[in-house]
Structure 1
Amino acid sequence: MAPLEHLTTPVDAVVARMRTLDETLPARDGVAVFNRVYLAVTRAVAQEIGTGRCAGPRAATTPDVRFADPRVAATLDVRFAERYLTAVDAAAQGRRPPACWRPLFQLRRHPGVRPLQFALAGVNAHIGHDLALAVVDACRTLDCAPAELEDEFDRVGDLLATLEEHIREELMPGPDLLRIADPLTHLLSAWSLEHARDATWAAARALWALRALPDVAAEFTDRLDAAVGFAGRMMLTPLPG
């Protein structure tokens, strides 16, 4: 796994980069849809760890989650966010982002893909792949094992779970569009944030255990990336309008 260059970026700077994306991307762009979602949860994390000077007011939909160790939470949050921002930079520069992100970047302007699909496909890529690698990144920085990050991992997961509920409430078509929404409901009901979190924690522990076997760890990471990307492509199946 290649090291990232910006892993020491403070949480406030991460929030600022997401705000810039929010202000510059077209509102209907699939990456913009996910970015708005992720910006909301990152602001909430920033406030809880005491570095939210530019984060703005707490959204009514975010829970009151307190982090036991703000330093650990900040490290994990920044490394997590940088995985997404690095994928954005790669796509903007004409390079290939990780496989987990490619469906979102490839289909970001497809008229047959709904905002809810874009948002949850981004959550799938970020949790299913990026979060496991971010846990390992944070462990290396903090010189600790994944078990020592589990409390902060769970608190970030709690925020994301609330965010997923908000996404579905805000972006799911209303009752008058139930006939059109039926295939969308069927398509996305197969994905579970809770199951994705559990799989991510197992993947992070496995990668940490494989750190002395870099070839095996790289193969494991590639296969994880591909599997999450495949799931994301299914989530972005264009639907009849």
Structure 2
Amino acid sequence: MKPINTIDDVIRELEYILQYAIDHNSTTGYFAALYLKVTKKVKQGIAEGFFEDGPRMEKLDVIFAKRYIEAYHQFRNGKTPSMAWTRAFALTDTFWPIVLQHLLVGMNAHINLDLGIAAAEVQRGKPMDDLHTDFNRINQILSSLVADVERDLSSIWPFLAKLLRWTRHFDNFLIDFSMELARDGAWKFAVALADTPEKQQPKFIAARDEKVAKKAEIITQPGWIVRLLFAIIRLGEKGSVAQKIQDLNS
């Protein structure tokens, strides 16, 4: 893995992960495709002055993205990433998980664990409150994940939108992973981590990692009604893994 110091380095690495997934028909490309879109939006926001402190936001984006990228390479090289990412990558290249599950389990690990760690790190030795406005602004961009998921998945399985409206069971599943809840939890975790003595931070992060990994079970082991719906969706998904990645990236 080449050094990652700028947001352009992040984009380069995400494009590599995406292309590798397309070439090898790997489901790891689903989350990478969506994350690449978000990163490009953050870059655009920095260039257009959307954030209070553009250079700080780029630093946050790099620290944040590196946690995912490093976890991905650990997985690819047979090493063990965080518990939350281990749960996410456990779905890789198995038949039954639908695209939405791959996306949500990745979002769970990255937002509920990695974002808080990155925020605390970028503000090390500085007041966390100074970051709060930009933290909320980056989450305005992250929140677009939900809309992107529904829109992009409709091209993979056109009946999805009708099904989402028809069944409240599926709605409840999505509500549990709303970006507003993830944002608030990530900020509280970031503030608590920043207030934790440095020697105790690894233990604090490990406890959070375990909690986030446990939360992934809502996605990976839903109730039987949701499992039935997922099976219907999975059998109706169009195209190969590579084609679905390209749909998400379009």
What is the TM-score with the length of structure 2 in the denominator?
0.79
Could you report, residue by residue, the CA deviation over 1:140-185 in whole angstroms, capped at 9, with x for unpaired residues?
2xx4221111121111100011222111232254337739x95655
Deviation at 1:122, TM superposition (A): 0.8
SS at structure 2 position matched to 1:49: helix
Q: Structure 1 segments of 4 or more deviating over 4 A?
A: 181-186
Q: Is the 8 A contact 2:75 2:81 kept in 1?
A: yes
Question: Quick check: 1:39 aligned with 2:36?
Answer: yes
Amino acid at match of 2:146: E
Structure 2 SS opposite 1:108: coil
1:50-91 per-position Cα deviation (integer Å, ceiling 9, x unaligned): 3xxxxxxxxxxxxx8811211111111111101101101111
**Structure 2 unaligned regions, length at least 5:** 222-226, 233-250
Q: CA RMSD in A?
A: 2.4
Superposition pairs for residues 146-161 of structure 1, below 5 Å? 146-161=128-143
Matches for 1:1-241 after TM superposition, within 5 Å: 9-26=5-22, 29-50=26-47, 66-140=50-124, 143-171=125-153, 173-175=157-159, 178=163, 184-212=170-198, 214-215=199-200, 217-237=201-221, 239-241=230-232
Question: CA contact under 8 A between 1:100 and 1:125: conserved in structure 2?
Answer: yes
Alpha carbons 2:112, 2:182 under 8 Å: kept: yes
Q: Which amino acid aligns with 1:154?
A: N
SS at match of 2:84: coil
Does the CA-based 8 Å contact 1:67-1:155 persist in structure 2?
yes
- C-alpha distance in structure 2 between counterparts of 1:65 and 1:107, whole Å: 38
CA distance in 1, matches of 2:127, 2:153: 38
Query: Structure 1 residue 136: deviation in Å?
Result: 1.4
TM-score, normalised by the number of residues in structure 1: 0.81
* 1:186 shift after superposition: 4.8
Distance in 2 (alpha carbons) for counterparts of 1:65 and 1:186: 36
Give 3-state SS (helix, strand or coil) of 2:81's partner: coil
- Preserved CA contact (<8 Å) 1:15 1:43: yes
Distance between the aligned counterparts of 1:67 and 1:190, measured in 2?
A: 28
Q: Determine if contact 1:30/1:119 at 8 Å carries over to the other structure.
A: no
| Whole-angstrom distance in 1 between the partners of 2:171 and 2:61 | 30
The CA distance in 1 between the partners of 2:49 and 2:39, in whole Å, is 12
Runs of 5+ unmatched residues, structure 1: 51-63
Q: Relative to total residues, which structure has the larger helix share, 1 or 2?
A: 2
Per-residue CA deviations over 1:177-229 (Å, capped at 9, x if unaligned) read 739x95655533432221111011011100111135x23x2222111111111
